[in-house]
Amino acid sequence: MKPVFFIFLLLILSNGLHAEPLTKDQHQQAQRLFIALGCRACHDLNESGSNLAKPLDRIGLKLNEAEILHRLQQPPGKMGPKDKFMPSYQTTSIEQLKLLSRFLANRK
């Protein structure tokens, strides 16, 4: 495969998966939010958490920030059958959900 084609293919495949980096303060806030919302009870992140659900260490390679936010905003019954135990985040502010989504989208 020619190098130019490989770079082009890589750019196409990664389109839409770029997440704006977090500041150090935002990163710390998002980590605290991840813990406060109980995400570690089911998900593993940085070898800290549970294996009841998918690990989130590389979630940013599969979903972009908007897709993660959309999933967090869905009532549990609207998610797929594998996600039926996800809690509702309807009482969590949109700003917090956006921060958490951005934090997770940067996990690559």
pLDDT tens column, 34-66: 999 999 999 999 999 999 888 999 999 999 999
**pTM (global) more than 0.85:** no
Instruction: Report the candidate in 30, 33, 32, 58 with the shortest Cα–Cα distance to residue 44.
Output: 58
DSSP-based three-state secondary structure for 48? strand
Instruction: Report the candidate in 77, 100, 97 with the shortest Cα–Cα distance to residue 87.
Output: 77
Higher-confidence residue of 83 and 54: namely: 54
* Lookup: tokens for 65: 């920030």
What domains does the chain contain, in order, with CATH numbers? Answer: 24-105 (1.10.760.10)
Instruction: Say if residue 3's pLDDT is above 80.
Output: no
* Lookup: tokens for 84: 């039926």
